[in-house]
Amino acid sequence: MLKKEMFYEGKAKRVYVTDEPGKYLVEFKNDATAFDGKKKGTIDNKGMLNNKISVLFFKLLEEKGIKTHFIEAVSDTEMLVRSLEIILVEVVVRNIAAGSLAKRIGMEEGTTLPAPVVEYYYKSDALGDPLINNSHIAVLGLATPEQMEVMKETALKVNGVLKDFLTGKNIDLVDFKLEFGRHGNEILLGDEISPDTCRFWDSQTSEKLDKDRFRRDLGNVEGAYREVFKRIQA
């Protein structure tokens, strides 16, 4: 496999074309942003840690029958994936109230939800990723109702698999964001699954082990990402 030209650069990753049709190389960066890119920084070794953490989670999900874009790890900071036409709907699943949900519905951060909450956000930097519903998605033509059903069911299945796995590692899965894309006529789970895109809390102390340490200036961001990697590979 040959890494060819870069065709997309996001806030945390670069995507390269390869000499193999239908396969992209994803490179994870140390760059970190928050609040629609208004806060910028770097986290040492984040690229490596997020790549390795995502590889581990994608392998786990594939073992449980969930279809993802993941093919194989290529280097410390790179993975080979199936090319996707990204669907512009971010799917968030929540088990414990935190972040924007705590604010929006006036629930104290840390309250366990009686059932998982699934939310959709329009992936649009210009609009600041607004919360949207199935009617908005239909009007905008972002996905069909059938595709949304697949994405929702897959997201809930991912939640069950990750939550159970992480409980065994003494980590509470508070919430996370997924992205999906079309590959031929299949819908595959794409993007990454890492402390950038999930909230992970230590089960005993509720210490934050994710990007909230960067967003809220809590310090030891790299240490938290390392701790997640250490626990999940054990």
Q: Which residue is nearest to ligand ASP (CB)?
A: 33
The dihedral formed by the CA atoms of 26, 229, 56 and 80, expressed in degrees to the nearest 10 = 10
**How wide is the angle at C-alpha 164 spanned by C-alphas 82 and 55, nearest 5°?**
25
Closer CB to ligand ASP, 41 or 160, in the complex:
41
CB 137, CB 89: distance < 8 Å: yes
Q: Please tell me whether residue 208 binds ligand TMP under the rule CB under 6 A.
A: no
Query: Which residues inside 26-85 make contact with ligand TMP, applying CB under 6 A?
Result: none
Q: Of 1, 7, 9, 37, which lies in the binding site for ligand ASP, with binding defined by CB under 6 A?
A: 37
Interacting span for ligand TMP (CB under 6 A) from 59-67, 134-142, 147-155, 173-181: 173-181
Q: Please tell me whether residue 35 binds ligand ASP under the rule CB under 6 A.
A: yes
Cα separations in angstroms, 58 against 101, 103, 145, 151, 172: 26, 31, 25, 16, 18
Binding partner of 176, given ligand ASP, ligand TMP, none, CB within 5-8 angstroms per partner class:
ligand TMP
Cα separations in angstroms, 115 against 93, 105, 128, 168, 225: 10, 15, 27, 20, 27
Q: Of 34, 107, 131, 142, which lies in the binding site for ligand ASP, with binding defined by CB under 6 A?
A: 34
Closer CB to ligand ASP, 80 or 89, in the complex:
89
Interacting span for ligand TMP (CB under 6 A) from 16-24, 94-102, 148-156, 218-226: 94-102
Q: How far apart are CA 134 and CA 140, in angstroms?
A: 10
Closer CB to ligand TMP, 17 or 34, in the complex:
34
The residue behind tokens 């030891």 is 220
Q: How far is the CB of 178 from ligand ASP (least distance, A)?
A: 14
Q: By rule CB under 6 A, what string of x and - marks binding of each residue 109-148 to ligand TMP? A: --------------------x-------------------
Q: How far apart are CA 205 and CA 36, in angstroms?
A: 29
Q: By rule CB under 6 A, what string of x and - marks binding of each residue 149-168 to ligand TMP? A: --------------------
Query: Which residues inside 176-195 make contact with ligand TMP, applying CB under 6 A?
Result: 176-177
The binding site for ligand TMP (CB under 6 A) comprises 92, 98-101, 129, 175-177, 197-199
